[in-house]
Amino acid sequence: MQGALTEAVYYILLSLITPRHGYGIMQNAEQMSGGRVRLAAGTLYGALTTMQDKGWIEALGGDQDSRRKEYALTETGKQVLQAELKRLHELVRNGDAVLGGDTHDDENL
C-alpha cells in the first residue's frame, strides 16, 4: 500500500503518459492546473531522478548527452498513478459527503 504522492509527483507522472522532456513537463503541469502548479527546475530534476530510481519512469533515447532528454511513464508508474487517483477519489468523496459538495466550480479547468 503506497503512501500519498506529492502534488508535484502526481502531475509529473500524469504528464508522462505522453513522453516529454523537462520543460514540457513543467508547461504541461502548469497548463493542467490552470497556472497553480509551477514545477521548478531543481525540484523537477530531483523528482525525475528519484522516480527513475524507483522504476516509475524511464529516460528515452540512448544518448546520455543529448539535450532535451525525454521521459516516459513505465508500467509500474502507471499503476502508481492509478492507485493515487483512486486515493484522491476517496478524499473527494469523503470531503463532499462531510462538507456538502459545493466546491466543484473548479472542475471546469
Partner 1 sequence: MTTKIYKVFWAWQAEDEEQWLDSMADKGWQLISVGYFTYVFEKSEEKYSYRLEFLKERVGAPSSQQYIRFVVDTGAEYVGAVQKWVYFRKKRSEGVFELFSDKSSRIRQLTRIVQVLMPLAGMNTGIGIYNLLLGLSMNMWVNALCGCISLAVSGWLFYGIAKIKMKRNQLEADAQLYEG
Question: Which parts of this chain interact with partner 1 (CB under 8 A)?
Answer: 6-8, 21-23, 26, 38-46, 64-65, 67-69
Counting every residue written for the chain, the total comes to: 109
DSSP string, 80-104: HHHHHHHHHHHHHHHHHHHH-S--G
Shortest reach from residue 24's CB to partner 1, in Å:
10
CB closer to partner 1, 4 vs 101: 4
Cα–Cα distance, 37 to 102 (Å, whole number): 23
CB closer to partner 1, 68 vs 93: 68
Cell numbers 468523496: residue: 93
Shortest reach from residue 9's CB to partner 1, in Å:
10
Cα–Cα distance, 64 to 67 (Å, whole number): 9
CB closer to partner 1, 54 vs 101: 54
Shortest reach from residue 26's CB to partner 1, in Å:
6
